[in-house]
Amino acid sequence: MNDLMLLIGGVVLLLLTLFLLLIYSGLFASVDVKTGAPPIGKAYIAYKDGSGAYKNVGSNFSESTSIAPNLKQIGFYYDDPIKVPEDKLRWAVGAILAEDDEEVDPVIRLAYEKEKYKFMALPRVSASVNCIFPYTTMISIFIAVRRVYPAVMAYVENFGLEAHPYMEVYFGGNIHFMAPLSSQRDFYTPKALESQHDQTGQQGIPDQSESDKITELDGTPQVMESSPPLKQEPSSPTKTQSGEPAEVEQKLTVDQPADQLVDHLADQSVDEPVDQSVDEPVDRSVDEPKDQSVDEPKDQSVDEPKNQSLDQPVDRPVDRSVEAESSSDSDGSFEKVEAESL
């Protein structure tokens, strides 16, 4: 009986210990996903590419940590394990050798180089999708994977964000999950870009050549250069205020003699005064002496309005004075009419 009680007590104590261990590892830790500044800046990293199930990545973290235990460890996960076959999952694991303006330790770099690690630079981004989870035990990783990633993916989908690849950075007793919101292509290793596969759920971005093709199809300069020039319809001649085409007027001013040009301008600009100045003297030329109606009135009443049309518009009040004088004093001398008209 006592042995049974001891056994039950031992099992309860074990379960309680495991439960406390899970709590310590982050079983009930809060999962707060938000957008903000990323946990790392511009970085220079050593890494190794890999493919296959993500659950087998742990050994690569152990190898990188054994080379430089004090460095920040980093992991990249390029595909959605729910939609991409397990054997085609792409990942990369390594360490951050330097950040921002820090200098790379040549000894540490040589140690990673001997283990056949590759090197690349990561850009600084202004924002990323972030989540921090406590890293207290190895169990913390398993809990974080099952709690954080579903929350991050739901956050990205709900807000319609373009956030990839998913990354993990280990430092300060925490696992910093991040997914950059810009310059995503710079976070893919060359091998990851080369091995892109046509699978639904792939987190990779399109190849640069495909992006260029889209630009060529959508960009206005490319379309305009490749398309034939549009045929232009001949434009109709511009008409002036007189109703005549501008080309005809230009031809008149250049080709026609000066006498015809004077007549043409007189017809356009002083139609009404010319009729009055010509008709009135002609009617009066019957009563006046022959010498005066031929010599003086014709030169003054016909020629002067035409000459005035070249320099300035015909003064209409002068014409009215001639009409008034002619209607009021029909027996007056022609010299008086001439003086008033002048």
Measured distance CA(42)–CA(234) in Å, rounded:
60
Report CA-CA distances (Å) from 328 to 55, 322, 325: 122, 10, 5
* Placement of tokens 């043409």 in the chain: 264
Measured distance CA(65)–CA(57) in Å, rounded:
13
Are 55 and 122 contained in the same domain?
A: yes
Are 46 and 177 contained in the same domain?
A: yes
* 329 found inside a domain: yes
Are 298 and 191 contained in the same domain?
A: no
**3-state SS assignment for residue 87:** helix
Q: What is the pLDDT of residues 85-106, one digit of tens each?
A: 999 999 999 999 999 999 999 9
* 334 found inside a domain: yes
Are 331 and 185 contained in the same domain?
A: no
Are 69 and 174 contained in the same domain?
A: yes
Q: What is the pLDDT of residues 129-142, one digit of tens each?
A: 999 999 999 999 99
Could you say which of 211, 227, 252 is where a domain stops? 211
pTM above 0.85, yes or no: no
Provide the residue type at 275 as one letter: D
* 181 found inside a domain: yes
Q: What is the pLDDT of residues 226-284, one digit of tens each?
A: 333 333 444 444 444 444 444 434 444 444 444 554 455 445 444 444 444 444 444 44
Report CA-CA distances (Å) from 230 to 59, 225, 237: 65, 12, 21
* 262 found inside a domain: no
Are 98 and 176 contained in the same domain?
A: yes
Boundaries of domain holding 54: 31-211
Residue 138, CB half-sphere, CA atoms under 13 Å: how many?
5
Measured distance CA(183)–CA(185) in Å, rounded:
6
* 251 found inside a domain: no
Are 127 and 206 contained in the same domain?
A: yes
Report CA-CA distances (Å) from 240 to 237, 258, 269, 306, 308: 10, 21, 13, 21, 22
Could you say which of 165, 195, 211 is where a domain stops? 211
311: its two tokens = 């320099």
- Contacts for 320-324: CB closer than 8 Å, 24+ residues apart: 322/277, 322/280, 323/276, 323/280
pLDDT value, residue 9: 86
Are 67 and 203 contained in the same domain?
A: yes
Cβ atoms 282, 325 nearer than 8 A? no
Q: What is the pLDDT of residues 45-84, one digit of tens each?
A: 999 999 999 999 999 999 999 999 999 999 999 999 999 9
In terms of Cα–Cα distance, which of 95, 134, 120, 255 is closest to 190? Answer: 120
Cβ atoms 125, 132 nearer than 8 A? no
Are 170 and 62 contained in the same domain?
A: yes
104: its two tokens = 């790379």
* 245 found inside a domain: no
Are 136 and 284 contained in the same domain?
A: no
* 11 found inside a domain: no
Residue 305, CB half-sphere, CA atoms under 13 Å: how many?
26
Are 156 and 305 contained in the same domain?
A: no
* 26 found inside a domain: no
CA angle 320, 326, 327 (to 5 degrees): 90
CATH code for the domain of 133: 3.20.80.10
Are 279 and 205 contained in the same domain?
A: no
Could you say which of 211, 236, 257 is where a domain stops? 211
The percentage of the chain sitting over the pLDDT mark of 90, rounded to a whole number, equals: 53
Domain count across the chain: 2
Cβ atoms 93, 74 nearer than 8 A? yes
